[in-house]
């Protein structure tokens, strides 16, 4: 028991984790307080809209942490993490769909609206059980976990690595997107699942529920971050870093590389699933566009901008890019893709270690030498 | 009055001169006589007159009888001159002379005497007209007429058909006529011997006739018809298979075209260029631009777009290589991300500068239409051109890689960069040239794609994953592998489509490739020897 405690507790002894958790909790608490106690007309008041928006950013941050775990510490560039995010989201969406009950447009007590619309007589077998919250929440972990397990088992066993792996993960999410677009799949086709009402008995349209979801997301991000830290610091984490840097050598040293890869990959997929599940009630819709290859590759650029193999960098990157996206699409929608494309190029060419790399370098140069950090980062 | 008389004399001279021009015409006096007989005789006699006209061998006869059947042959009351009515609406009708085809302008309806026709005569006329067509000296005309006859033979024509078949020199025409006659016999008389003739026919009328025979009371006839039907079904199945194969090959060659440039940049150089699809898009937009520059000459524009599309995409490729890719040497995952960024920028550039909507690229006339192989199978021409184009592009790339100095240097640099450089090869220059070549080929793919799909900002995106799949499936660094993989995937996709639907077929193919890569991570044709170790 003592050993279990020690690897679980070790992250809390790290300075970076302490700082990260401190900042995260302070931010969540401050936002909540400003939302609750500031008068509506005050400049400091945080509206329910902003709370939900921030909640969405935190979901993305959790997703980015999941991607950083596999990319930064395992060396697997997954271009298909949107698939796991989407599956978690659909599991949650199915639960929320069943909670609507007979309040839908067609008033059918069991069948969701789109099934009535398609003249279906009964629920498909895979929709059963989603009226129970515990079952749905298990599926949020299980569905992406299982997909990652099967996919990862096949891929790692036959030692598909590097670019090949990236491309087939992209094909995976592309195939899922095409599949979910089909009405016959029973997931609402093009329109996806939407028009949600309740979660666990709370009305989704009230500000209190929204704030609750925001806080829950903050807690989930903290837990996810700590789990990743714990994995990275454990012996397993060391082996996974060894796999990243010299896969063949690690194998020759007697480690079962594919098992390490599989474990980390599945954990990462589950985290992505949780992020998706928290995302859906806040955004109010889940549709196949979450599976689009573009979204998956966007996640990677959040991590790249923040700095890979740092975890907190992923969080910074996700929040920054998505904030920029909100601002850009608001004022000049046309320019967003230019900005995003430029970001891809600039980050990879000039900022290989991301913002976290800049921060680390600055700290180092402060102690060692007084060279300006900016110049060195671009050099 | 004198002027009018001299004018009409002049007209007469002209009319007399005309027959000398064409050989297959009877004397005008005789023609006038025939038409007069037609106009003046009773309905019973008219039939004989019609036959006399048909047998006269005059090449105007068809026109006369046709307008007669359509109630458009008339006589000018005052002059007795026969005219064909071109436009019979309103009070004044536009007419032309039946003998000289000279336009006589408008004549009041009341001055005209339409030669009357009844339904019995009209039916008669139809088969007579067919016979005239079947006697035409031009074989192509006879063949068209014979084909049109299937399913529309009537009793009168059926009587005359055997002698026509006997007299027919050309085999396709006589075959067609035999079939037409057999269809008539099966349909109207339930003739068992005729059923055998229809066995193996691909004509839909023949099938209809057989189906009707299968419902008859005569068990022998039903059995014979069922047998003939079976052989037809067999043949149809073969034709459908051939059609699927053709669609498969055409889709496959599109995939080959889209992937072959990637096979060079990714396969040979090891550079992941996610902007490859957008280079294809640039090629397609070049075609559109060319057609805008040369309005009214889509064919010429298309041909000019081939070099232009290559150049535009190659220059864009060089720009990408110089600004982005060269800084990321040896970091394939970063290259992937950076070039993806480039692809976003290019897409948005097209959206902002040109339009977010699809542009129409005109297909030149010589590329539209289709080639009819038989009555159940016709192949569209534009797809055939794409297949040919893909093969030509592939062959020329093969030649460049195998037989030219550039190809040799490319292979040297990719196999051992340091060694190649020490032999005096400028590796950087080779990098640029190779990347330009691969990008240029993407542009060519775009030119071809503009003929068969929508040209819009998302054109490239829809091909990028497929292209990577083809290259990875075929085996990286192997152009032959790309060809085989592209054609195979295209055909598999088309084979699955009728059975699973387009989207599901695509998903199945993707899953198949994902599983295949697990089994053989290096593709269908893995590289062997030193080049394999990179």
Closest Cα of chain A to B171: distance in Å? 52
Summarize pLDDT for B20-66 with one digit per residue, the tens.
Answer: 444 456 677 777 888 888 888 887 788 788 878 877 777 777 788 88
Summarize pLDDT for B353-389 with one digit per residue, the tens.
Answer: 998 888 888 888 888 888 877 777 788 888 899 999 9
**Is 50 exceeded by the pLDDT of residue A59?**
yes
Give the H or E element holding residue B274: none
- Candidates B517, B526, B527, B533: best to mutate against A (most CBs of A within 10 A) is B517
Q: For residue A104, give Cα distances in angstroms to A112, A126, A194, A313, A332.
A: 7, 20, 11, 42, 36
Q: Is A40 left (phi over 0), alpha (psi -120 to 50) or beta?
A: alpha
Instruction: Collapse the DSSP code of B58 into the 3-class scheme (helix H, G, I; strand E, B; otherwise coil) and give the result.
Output: coil
Averaged pLDDT, A294-306 = 92
Set of chain A residues whose Cβ sits within 8 Å of the Cβ of B348: 334, 337-338, 341
- The rounded distance, in Å, linking the Cα atoms of B531 and B534 is 7
- The rounded distance, in Å, linking the Cα atoms of B113 and B35 is 13
Predicted local confidence at residue B180, as pLDDT: 81
Residue from A225, A233, A211, A213 nearest A62 by CA: A225
Whether ipTM exceeds 0.85: no
- Candidates A306, A344, A352, A353: best to mutate against B (most CBs of B within 10 A) is A344
**Is 60 exceeded by the pLDDT of residue A87?**
yes
**A301–B348 C-beta distance less than 8 A:** no
Residue from A51, A94, A53, A97 nearest A198 by CA: A97
A39 compared with A285, residue with greater pLDDT = A285
Predicted local confidence at residue B56, as pLDDT: 75
**Is 60 exceeded by the pLDDT of residue A377?**
no
**A297–B334 C-beta distance less than 8 A:** no
- The rounded distance, in Å, linking the Cα atoms of B55 and B46 is 14
Instruction: Collapse the DSSP code of B365 into the 3-class scheme (helix H, G, I; strand E, B; otherwise coil) and give the result.
Output: helix
- The rounded distance, in Å, linking the Cα atoms of B516 and A325 is 38
- Candidates B329, B518, B534: best to mutate against A (most CBs of A within 10 A) is B518
Predicted local confidence at residue B81, as pLDDT: 83
- The rounded distance, in Å, linking the Cα atoms of A178 and A182 is 7
Predicted local confidence at residue B190, as pLDDT: 72
Cα-atom radius of gyration of chain B, to the nearest Å?
34
**Is 50 exceeded by the pLDDT of residue A374?**
no
Query: Do B58 and B25 contact (CB within 8 A), yes or no?
Result: yes
Summarize pLDDT for A310-341 with one digit per residue, the tens.
Answer: 999 999 999 999 999 999 888 888 888 899 99
Summarize pLDDT for B167-212 with one digit per residue, the tens.
Answer: 777 778 788 888 888 888 777 777 777 777 777 777 777 777 777 7
Query: Do B343 and A301 contact (CB within 8 A), yes or no?
Result: no
- Candidates B262, B335, B344: best to mutate against A (most CBs of A within 10 A) is B344
**In chain B, which segments carry CATH 2.30.30?**
24-120
- Report yes or no: B322 at the A interface, CB cutoff 8 Å: no
Q: What is the 3-state secondary structure (H, E, C) of A137-158?
A: HHHHHHHHHHHHHHHHHHHHHC
Set of chain A residues whose Cβ sits within 8 Å of the Cβ of B517: 158, 160, 164, 168
- How much of chain A, in percent, has pLDDT values that exceed 90? 55
**A172–B344 C-beta distance less than 8 A:** no
Alpha helices in B416-478 (DSSP H): 417-422, 427-449, 461-474
In this complex, the residue of B338, B465, B519 whose CB is nearest that of residue A174 is B465
In this complex, the residue of B323, B327, B332 whose CB is nearest that of residue A163 is B332
Summarize pLDDT for A122-170 with one digit per residue, the tens.
Answer: 888 899 889 899 999 999 999 999 999 999 998 898 888 788 888 889 8
Predicted local confidence at residue A1, as pLDDT: 44
Instruction: Give Cβ neighbours of residue A154 (< 8 Å, ≥ 6 apart).
Output: B515, B518
Predicted local confidence at residue B291, as pLDDT: 92
Averaged pLDDT, A277-297 = 93
Spell out a b/e string for B358-390, using b for 16 or more CB atoms within 10 Å of the CB, else e.
ebebbbbeebeeeeeeeebbebbbbbbbbbebb
- The rounded distance, in Å, linking the Cα atoms of A305 and A356 is 8
- State chain A's mean pLDDT as an integer: 88
Please report the residues numbered 66 through 85 in chain A whose beta carbons come closer than 8 angstroms to any beta carbon of chain B.
Answer: 77
For the B24-120 domain, the top CATH level (class) is mainly beta
Predicted local confidence at residue A378, as pLDDT: 35
- The rounded distance, in Å, linking the Cα atoms of A59 and A318 is 9
- The rounded distance, in Å, linking the Cα atoms of A178 and A201 is 33
- The rounded distance, in Å, linking the Cα atoms of B196 and B180 is 13
Predicted local confidence at residue B387, as pLDDT: 93
In this complex, the residue of A175, A297, A301 whose CB is nearest that of residue B511 is A175
Set of chain B residues whose Cβ sits within 8 Å of the Cβ of A154: 515, 518
Please report the residues numbered 481 through 520 in chain B whose beta carbons come closer than 8 angstroms to any beta carbon of chain A.
Answer: 503-504, 506-507, 510-511, 513-515, 517-519
Residue B327 DSSP label: G
- The rounded distance, in Å, linking the Cα atoms of A194 and B399 is 56
- Report yes or no: B467 at the A interface, CB cutoff 8 Å: no
Torsion (CA) A236, A237, A238, A239 in degrees, nearest 10? 50
- Report yes or no: A354 at the B interface, CB cutoff 8 Å: no
- The rounded distance, in Å, linking the Cα atoms of B84 and A121 is 67
Residue B108 DSSP label: E
Set of chain B residues whose Cβ sits within 8 Å of the Cβ of A334: 348, 351-352
- The rounded distance, in Å, linking the Cα atoms of A218 and B517 is 39
**Is 60 exceeded by the pLDDT of residue A304?**
yes
Residue B383: both structure tokens together: 């797809």
- Report yes or no: B353 at the A interface, CB cutoff 8 Å: no
- The rounded distance, in Å, linking the Cα atoms of B162 and B171 is 14
- The rounded distance, in Å, linking the Cα atoms of B292 and B469 is 34
Q: Searching chain B, which residue's CA lies closest to the CA of residue A292? A: B461
- The rounded distance, in Å, linking the Cα atoms of B226 and B115 is 48
Query: Do B473 and B513 contact (CB within 8 A), yes or no?
Result: yes
Q: What is the 3-state secondary structure (H, E, C) of chain A?
A: CHHHHHHHHHHHHCHHHHHHHHHHHHHHHHHHHHHHHCCCCCCCCCCHHHHHHHHHHHHHHHHHHHHHHHHHHHCCCCCCHHHHHHHHHHHHHHHHHHHHHHHCCCCCCCCCHHHHHCCCCCCCHHHCCCCCHHHHHHHHHHHHHHHHHHHHHHHHHCCCCHHHHHHHHHHHHHHHHHHHHCHHHCCCHHHCEECCCEECCEECCCHHHHHHHHHHHHHHHHHHHHHHHHHHHCHHHHHHHHHHHCHHHHHHCCCCHHHHHHHHHHHHHHHHHHHHHHHHHHHCEECHHHHCHHHHHHHHHHHHHHCCCCCHHHHHHHHHHHHHHHHHHHHCCCHHHHHHHHHHHHHHHHCCCHHHHHHHHHHHHHHHCCCCHHHHHHC
B298-323 vs B332-353: helix crossing angle, rounded to 10: 140
Set of chain B residues whose Cβ sits within 8 Å of the Cβ of A348: 328, 334-335, 337-338, 341
Which residues of chain B are modeled with pLDDT < 70? 1-26, 527-534
What does pTM read for this prediction? Answer: 0.77
Give the H or E element holding residue B336: helix B332-353
Q: Searching chain B, which residue's CA lies closest to the CA of residue A152? A: B518
- The rounded distance, in Å, linking the Cα atoms of A231 and A222 is 14
């Amino acid at each position: 028991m003592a050993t279990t405690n020690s690897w679980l507790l070790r992250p809390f002894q790290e300075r970076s984790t302490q700082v990260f958790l401190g900042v995260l909790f302070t931010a969540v608490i401050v936002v909540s307080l400003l939302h609750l106690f500031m008068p509506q007309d005050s400049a400091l008041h945080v509206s329910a809209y902003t709370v939900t928006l921030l909640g969405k950013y935190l979901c993305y941050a959790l997703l980015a942490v999941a991607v950083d775990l596999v990319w930064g510490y395992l060396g697997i560039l997954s271009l298909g993490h949107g698939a796991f995010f989407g599956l978690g989201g659909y599991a949650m969406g199915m639960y929320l769909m069943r909670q609507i009950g007979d309040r839908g447009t067609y008033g059918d007590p069991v069948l969701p609206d789109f099934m009535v619309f398609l003249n279906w007589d009964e629920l498909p077998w895979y929709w059963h059980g989603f009226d129970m919250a515990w079952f749905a929440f298990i599926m949020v972990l299980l569905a992406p976990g299982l997909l990652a397990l099967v996919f990862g088992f096949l891929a790692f066993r036959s030692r598909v690595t590097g670019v090949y792996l990236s491309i087939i993960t992209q094909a995976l999410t592309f195939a899922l997107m095409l599949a979910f677009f089909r009405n016959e799949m029973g997931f609402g086709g093009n329109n996806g699942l939407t028009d949600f009402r309740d979660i666990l008995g709370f009305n989704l349209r009230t500000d209190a529920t929204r704030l609750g979801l925001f806080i829950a997301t903050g807690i989930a991000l903290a837990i996810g971050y700590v789990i990743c830290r714990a994995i990275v610091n454990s012996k397993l984490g060391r082996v996974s870093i060894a796999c990243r840097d010299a896969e063949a050598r690690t194998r020759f040293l007697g480690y079962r590389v594919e098992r390490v890869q599989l474990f980390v990959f599945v954990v990462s997929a589950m985290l992505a699933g949780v992020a998706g599940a928290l995302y859906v009630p806040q955004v109010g819709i889940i549709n196949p566009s979450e599976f689009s290859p573009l979204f998956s590759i966007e996640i990677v650029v959040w991590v790249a901008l923040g700095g890979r193999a740092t975890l907190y960098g992923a969080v910074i990157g996700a929040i920054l890019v998505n904030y920029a996206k909100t601002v850009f699409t608001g004022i000049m929608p046309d320019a967003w893709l230019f900005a995003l494309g430029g970001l891809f190029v600039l980050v990879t060419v000039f900022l290989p270690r991301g913002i976290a790399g800049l921060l680390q370098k600055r700290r180092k140069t402060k102690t060692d030498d007084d060279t300006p950090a900016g110049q060195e980062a671009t050099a | 009055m004198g002027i009018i008389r001299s004018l009409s004399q002049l007209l007469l001279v002209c009319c007399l001169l005309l027959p000398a021009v064409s050989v297959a015409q009877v004397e005008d006096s005789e023609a006038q006589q025939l038409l007069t007989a037609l106009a003046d005789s009773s309905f019973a006699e008219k039939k004989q007159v019609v036959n006399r006209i048909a047998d006269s061998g005059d090449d105007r006869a068809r026109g006369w009888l046709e307008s007669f059947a359509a109630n458009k042959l008339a006589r000018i009351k005052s002059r007795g001159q026969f005219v064909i009515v071109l436009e019979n609406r309103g009070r004044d009708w536009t007419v032309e002379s039946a003998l000289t085809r000279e336009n006589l302008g408008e004549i009041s309806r009341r001055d005209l005497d339409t030669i009357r026709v009844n339904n019995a005569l009209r039916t008669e006329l139809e088969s007579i007209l067919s016979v005239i067509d079947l006697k035409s000296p031009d074989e192509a005309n006879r063949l068209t007429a014979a084909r049109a006859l299937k399913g529309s033979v009537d009793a009168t024509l059926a009587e005359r058909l055997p002698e026509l078949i006997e007299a027919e020199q050309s085999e396709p025409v006589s075959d067609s006529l035999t079939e037409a006659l057999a269809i008539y016999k099966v349909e109207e008389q339930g003739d068992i011997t005729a059923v055998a003739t229809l066995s193996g026919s691909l004509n839909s009328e023949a099938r209809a006739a057989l189906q009707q025979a299968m419902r008859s009371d005569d068990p022998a006839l039903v059995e014979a018809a069922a047998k003939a039907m079976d052989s037809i079904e067999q043949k149809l199945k073969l034709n459908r298979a051939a059609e699927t194969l053709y669609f498969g090959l055409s889709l496959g060659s599109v995939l080959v075209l889209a992937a072959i440039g990637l096979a060079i940049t990714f396969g040979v150089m090891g550079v992941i260029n996610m902007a490859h699809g957008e280079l294809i898009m640039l090629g397609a937009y070049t075609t559109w631009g060319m057609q805008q520059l040369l309005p009214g000459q889509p064919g010429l524009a298309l041909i000019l777009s081939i070099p232009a599309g290559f150049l535009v995409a190659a220059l864009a490729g060089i720009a990408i290589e110089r600004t982005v890719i060269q800084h990321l040497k040896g970091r394939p995952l970063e290259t992937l991300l950076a070039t993806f960024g480039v692809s976003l920028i290019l897409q948005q550039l097209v959206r902002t500068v040109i339009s977010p909507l699809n542009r129409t690229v005109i297909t030149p006339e010589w590329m539209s239409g289709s080639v009819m192989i038989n009555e159940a199978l016709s192949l569209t021409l534009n797809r055939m051109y794409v297949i040919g184009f893909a093969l030509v592009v592939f062959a020329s790339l093969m030649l460049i890689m195998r037989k030219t100095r550039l190809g040799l240097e490319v292979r040297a640099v990719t196999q051992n960069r340091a060694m190649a450089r020490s032999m005096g090869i400028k590796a950087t220059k080779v990098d640029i040239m190779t990347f330009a070549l691969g990008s240029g080929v993407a542009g060519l793919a775009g030119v071809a794609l503009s003929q068969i799909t929508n040209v819009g900002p998302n054109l490239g995106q829809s091909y990028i994953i497929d292209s990577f799949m083809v290259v990875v499936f075929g085996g990286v660094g192997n152009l032959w592998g790309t060809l085989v993989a592209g054609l195979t995937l295209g055909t598999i996709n088309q084979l699955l489509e009728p059975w699973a639907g387009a989207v599901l077929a695509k998903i199945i193919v993707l899953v198949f490739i994902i599983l295949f890569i697990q089994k053989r991570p290096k593709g269908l044709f893995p590289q062997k020897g030193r080049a394999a170790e990179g």
